[in-house]
Structure 1
Amino acid sequence: MTGGGLRIVRLANFVTGRSGGLRTALRHLGEGYRAAGHDPVLVIPGERPGVRRHPWGTVVTLPGPVLPGSGGYRLLTARRPVERLLDRLAPDRLEVSDRSTLRWTGGWARANGVPAVMVSHECLTGLLGQWRLPPGRARGLADGLNRRTGEAYDRIVCTTRWAAEEFTRIDAPVEVVPLGVDLDTFHPDRADRAGRERYADDTEVLLVHCARLSTEKRPDLAVDALAALRRAGVPAVLVMAGDGPSRRALAARSAGLPVHFTGFLPDRSAVATLLATADVVLAPGPVETFGLAGLEALAAGTPVVVNAASALPEVVGAAGVAAYGTPTAIADAVVRLLDRPAAARRAAARARAEEFSWPASVTGFLRVHGVGSGRSTPAGEPRATG
């Protein structure tokens, strides 16, 4: 690329037009790379090959099969097309956002003298535990796979210290760079009291769960927590914003309860309005490595109940309440949040979100790529807060 900028080729699976946090992060990072004078190229799987230009860079689609049971996610499984594309693109930096079918690209980068970074968006130890592997076996298997990842890439990036722990325990080269939030789109001023009447009246508590409806997100805990609240006499209602393979089962589970399913909301402003209008947002997923939707809720001025087993307590801080993954614990956490004065809990939520920005995140990622001065936060080192 001319002008001193770098061509940063990014590879990612699990990205569709209806996906959430990863797609948002890739978009904002790409916009930041372009604004800094670089040439971001994103390579993702799709139904057919294609090339499109966007404000966040060039997006190249290569055919990839659908992962069964994933609700439409595709994978780049064929190596040769990816190799040919990488040879043609001649990247200055490689940034990979999936360590399943794409981990081999670290070897390609090393053979071609291209500095390579793996961005870990999931906790492998936690996912293996979700698959019912015994803790010792899950940890041992994760450590072995993570060592291979550490050997294949120059650096590993995690978005929280919680996520980095499975790499620090094996002395892999990992750095922590938090993600950011769009503080303009997600803002308390978007609260729509008239629109709230669609779901709840003035005497009811409006809860929102905003995430993909899939097993690892544990949306069932949100439904069961609602049931626990209503048994305790709390007049709560729940809006499930999003879609996914668990939707039908969740609809059956919530029969007789005031649960509203919005389906996928493609308009980010509609999501922002819903989050700002809620009284409390629920984020019960136990293996979230950052939880961007939770941060977006805080930016919208709404406190969040999070799963204490995840990275989200690190992200929300005192602006939320952490509860271990039982319906009763989550329900109790909702009550504790509601006991705080509304103005105070909303101000605390917004203030916490303002500690995270996309420009800061872009700067951190570029530093990992060897661009700019300073450094990102090594795993284990406290990140300064406001």
Structure 2
Amino acid sequence: MGAVPASAPGGTAPLKIVVRVHAMPPEHNAGAEHMLVSMLRPLVERGHDVTVWLSRYGKVVEPYEYRGIRVIPLEARLDFPSAARKADVLVSHLECVPSTSALARGYGRPVVVVCHNTHRPTFRDMASGTTALAVYNSRWMAHEAELFFVEYPAAVRPASSLIVRPPVFAGDYATKPGKAITLVNCNEAKGGKVLAALARRMPDQQFLAVRGAYGEQILPDLPNVEVVDHVDGASMREQVYARTKVLLMPSSYESWGRAGVEAIASGIPVVAHPTPGLCESLGEAGVFVDRNDIAGYEAVLRKLLTPSEYRLASKRAKARSAELDPTAELAAWCDAVEALA
């Protein structure tokens, strides 16, 4: 991870930051969780006491450390409400926001809500009246939040808000691209059927199907499709991107699309369905094709696989990756959290 400028929180003692989420790596590897990890690590580097408490049962029963962050499984049966009462700042996302906000209200603690999608429950839970800081993962999400508050004038705006795009330091993912056409998370919404159809139409090409963290996986039994088990985010460079020539993202919905940003760090072109999030994250580096146009995907892939077209697409990908350096946004994020105490 790149360096984030160190600072003390106003000369005071380190903050006790307590995070409540449903799951964490390495057992659960989804974009929301890896975004959260990338946001918590610089707080740890600034000297703050950051602890993540899980709300769902999993395979791990003892507290553990993940990339410098202490994680408390639900199986440990420790007292989360007591930890919340002692916190300087509470942080939550997704399904844990209502319960964490209720504790924040009861204990008089500021709560940070990290918003990962534009679905109504996300904005509804964030607008409960207790949110000290809302974090949106894109400009279009911030715009959608504004539309929500216009549509529901009784909803309570957060005291403050901030845009933090899912942080990806290129050096954590950059590698020499491989030879496969890859899809990460092969459920239907992410494009599992698109991968299967393309593999049948392109038997001369090697495909890589990476099992996802959620959803029923569509994994075709074809000689040109290799299935890779669920991969921890820290291993994506070696196990996925070093084997990938082109990344597919024919998702029906993406609020941002972290996998695409990870891939372009290596100059790997991304062929994607034009969701607002993917259009914003990939910018001019993205090659956009409607997910229902299988023939269009095949035509684009065959063109990309020619050396001259690939060089141009790879150059655009690396340029976009450089534009998305997260250092400044992470510094602003840390400053915002420190200002809550």
TM-score using structure 1 length: 0.71
- Per the alignment, residue 154 of structure 1 pairs with 132
Call closer, same or farther: CA 1:345–1:147 in 2, change over 3 Å. same
- Per the alignment, residue 383 of structure 1 pairs with none
Q: Which of residues 62, 65, 70 in structure 2 aligns to 1:58?
A: 70
- Per the alignment, residue 142 of structure 2 pairs with 164
The count of residues paired between Structure 1 and Structure 2 equals: 315
TM-score using structure 2 length: 0.79
Residue identity in the other structure for 2:102:
G
Q: Which of residues 157, 169, 182 in structure 2 aligns to 1:208?
A: 182
- Cα distance in 1 for residues equivalent to 2:66 and 2:232: 17
- Cα distance in 1 for residues equivalent to 2:271 and 2:132: 36
Matched, 1:9 2:5: no
Q: CA RMSD in A?
A: 3.1
Matched, 1:308 2:318: no
- Cα distance in 2 for residues equivalent to 1:294 and 1:163: 18
- Per the alignment, residue 290 of structure 1 pairs with 256
Q: Which of residues 229, 232, 237 in structure 1 aligns to 2:206?
A: 237
Call closer, same or farther: CA 1:116–1:310 in 2, change over 3 Å. same
- Per the alignment, residue 362 of structure 1 pairs with 330
Q: Which of residues 163, 178, 186 in structure 1 aligns to 2:165?
A: 178
Q: CA deviation at 1:118?
A: 0.8
**Does structure 2 conserve the Cα–Cα contact (< 8 Å) formed by 1:40 and 1:58?**
yes
- Per the alignment, residue 46 of structure 1 pairs with 57
Q: Which of residues 216, 225, 248 in structure 2 aligns to 1:246?
A: 216
- Cα distance in 2 for residues equivalent to 1:267 and 1:115: 30
**Does structure 2 conserve the Cα–Cα contact (< 8 Å) formed by 1:285 and 1:307?**
yes
- Cα distance in 2 for residues equivalent to 1:275 and 1:150: 38
Matched, 1:328 2:298: no
**Does structure 2 conserve the Cα–Cα contact (< 8 Å) formed by 1:117 and 1:155?**
yes
Call closer, same or farther: CA 1:357–1:263 in 2, change over 3 Å. same
Q: Among the aligned pairs, what percent are the same residue?
A: 19
What whole-Å deviation, never above 9, does each CA across 1:300-322 have from its counterpart, x for those lacking one? Answer: 11010122125111111111112
**Does structure 1 conserve the Cα–Cα contact (< 8 Å) formed by 2:173 and 2:236?**
no
| Gapped regions of structure 2 (runs ≥ 5) | 1-8, 150-156
- Per the alignment, residue 32 of structure 1 pairs with 42
Name which of structure 1's ranges 30-39 and 354-363 shifts more when overlaid on structure 2: 354-363
- Cα distance in 2 for residues equivalent to 1:335 and 1:175: 41
| Gapped regions of structure 1 (runs ≥ 5) | 65-77, 125-141, 197-205, 373-386
SS of 2:196's partner is helix
Residue identity in the other structure for 1:347:
K
**Does structure 2 conserve the Cα–Cα contact (< 8 Å) formed by 1:29 and 1:358?**
no
- Cα distance in 1 for residues equivalent to 2:24 and 2:189: 17
Residue identity in the other structure for 1:242:
R
Residue identity in the other structure for 2:181:
L
Residue identity in the other structure for 2:21:
A
SS of 1:264's partner is coil
- Cα distance in 1 for residues equivalent to 2:329 and 2:304: 29
Residue identity in the other structure for 2:140:
W
- Per the alignment, residue 102 of structure 1 pairs with 97
